[in-house]
Structure 1
Amino acid sequence: MEVIVISDPLYFKAEARLINQLFEAGMPIFHLRKVGRNRADYAALLGGIDEDYHDRLALHQFHELQADFPLVKRLHYPEQLRKELDAKGLPSPSGNDVLSTSIHHPDALLELTRFEYTFYGPVFNSLSKPGYTGIAEADAGFTLPVKRTGPKIIALGGIDAGKVNAVRAMGFDGLALLGAVWMDKEQALNRFKLIKDKCDSDD
Structure 2
Amino acid sequence: MELIVIAKPTVFKEESNLINQLFEAGLQIFHLRKENADEADYRKIVEGILPEYHPRIALHHFHTLANDYNINRIHHTESFRKSITLNTLPPQKHIWSTSIHQLSDIDRIRPYHYCFYGPVFNSLSKPGYMGFIPPGFRLNKYNAKTKLIALGGIGLNQIDQVKAMNFDGIALLGSIWNDPAQALINFKKAQQHCLA
Q: TM-score, normalised by structure 2?
A: 0.96
- The superposition leaves residues 17-63 of structure 1 with CA deviations (integer Å, 9 ceiling, x where unpaired) of 00000000111100000122401111111111001101111000011
Q: In the alignment, residue 76 of structure 1 is paired with which amino acid?
A: H
Contact 2:73 2:96 in 1 (8 A): yes
Matched, 1:131 2:128: yes
Distance 1:93 1:7, change over 3 A: farther
Shifted more, 34-43 versus 75-84: the winner is 34-43
1:106 deviates by 1.1
Quote the residue 1:7 is aligned against.
Answer: 7
Q: In the alignment, residue 23 of structure 1 is paired with which amino acid?
A: F
Quote the residue 2:193 is aligned against.
Answer: 198
Structure 1 unpaired stretches of 5+: none
Quote the residue 1:76 is aligned against.
Answer: 75
How many residues align structurally?
196
Which among 94, 115, 119 is matched to residue 116 of structure 2?
119
Distance 1:50 1:58, change over 3 A: same
Matched, 1:110 2:104: no
Which among 89, 92, 108 is matched to residue 90 of structure 2?
92
Q: TM-score, normalised by structure 1?
A: 0.92
Contact 1:29 1:58 in 2 (8 A): yes
Structure 2 unpaired stretches of 5+: none
Q: Which stretches of structure 1, 4 residues or more, deviate above 4 A after TM superposition?
A: none
Contact 2:123 2:130 in 1 (8 A): yes
Quote the residue 1:44 is aligned against.
Answer: 44
Q: In the alignment, residue 143 of structure 1 is paired with which amino acid?
A: R
Contact 1:135 1:142 in 2 (8 A): no
Distance 1:8 1:90, change over 3 A: farther
Quote the residue 1:59 is aligned against.
Answer: 59
Map 1:133-172 → 2, pairs under 5 A: 133-136=130-133, 139-145=134-140, 147-172=142-167
- Give distance in 2, aligned partners of 1:104 and 1:150: 18
1:47 match: secondary structure: helix
Contact 1:112 1:150 in 2 (8 A): no
Distance 1:14 1:93, change over 3 A: farther
Q: In the alignment, residue 32 of structure 2 is paired with which amino acid?
A: L
1:31 match: secondary structure: strand
1:191 match: secondary structure: helix
- The superposition leaves residues 106-154 of structure 1 with CA deviations (integer Å, 9 ceiling, x where unpaired) of 1111011210000000000100011111123xx1122211543230000
Contact 2:10 2:37 in 1 (8 A): no
CA RMSD of aligned residues (A): 1.3
Contact 2:116 2:149 in 1 (8 A): yes
